[in-house]
Amino acid sequence: MQTEIVVAGFGGQGVLFAGQVIAYAAMDNGLEVTWIPSYGPEMRGGTANCTVIVSDEEIGSPQVAHPAVVIAMNLPSLDKYEPMVKEGGLLVVNASMVDRSPTRTDIHWVMVPGNEIAEELGDKRMTNMVLLGAMLANAPVLPLEAVEKSLREHLPERHHKLLPTNYKALRDGAKFLAEKV
């Protein structure tokens, strides 16, 4: 089993952090993993993305032309990565930042109002975790509990006060889709 994941959006949306969370959880569960960040020179507002590969076997190359999963946190990311998702793959779109639905019919896609769900939790910085939860509900690369455990183990101690909100964001993202089906 090998799953290629791209998380893409603007700088400041937690794109790289979401990818790191997946990578740490995969490593903590004995899986092979690569994590490749890519971002512009801007501190916030520029483009950012990361590619994560999770596998139960050695990974041949960290390069991905057609990811199995894409989390698009904004419209430019949807425009860029929708054509790249491999046939039968998953596209999770932040409906809060995108004014159109995906057009491909050969992939599974879901629209999640990530910003609104995060704001209901009282912290719009949790949008990345909401979308990650939605992804995990549709592409069970890792169990939600494994991601929560890795957050607890790898998040610096000074940020542990944010753990309950992160957990709720993950679960609310997964639950949003369960309630829609």
DSSP characters over the chain: -EEEEEEEEETTSSHHHHHHHHHHHHHHTT-EEEEEEEE-S-SSSSEEEEEEEEESS--S-S--SS-SEEEE-SHHHHHHHGGGSPTT-EEEEETTS-SS----SSSEEEEE-HHHHHHHTT-GGGHHHHHHHHHHHHS-SS-HHHHHHHHHHHS-GGGGGGHHHHHHHHHHHHHHHHHH-
The structure's pTM equals: 0.92
- The tens place of each residue's pLDDT in the chain, 181 residues long, gives 899 999 999 988 999 999 999 999 999 999 999 999 997 766 566 789 999 999 999 999 989 999 999 999 999 999 999 999 999 999 999 999 999 999 999 999 999 999 999 999 999 999 999 999 999 999 889 999 999 999 999 988 898 999 999 999 999 999 986 655 4
Report the C-alpha gap between 162 and 63 in whole angstroms.
33
Q: Domains of the chain: which residue ranges?
A: 2-180
For domain 2-180, the CATH architecture is 3-Layer(aba) Sandwich (3.40)
Report the C-alpha gap between 56 and 153 in whole angstroms.
22
Kindly report the backbone phi and psi dihedral angles of residue 49, in degrees, each rounded to the nearest multiple of 5, phi listed first. Answer: -155, 160
Contact 9, 18 (CB under 8 A): no
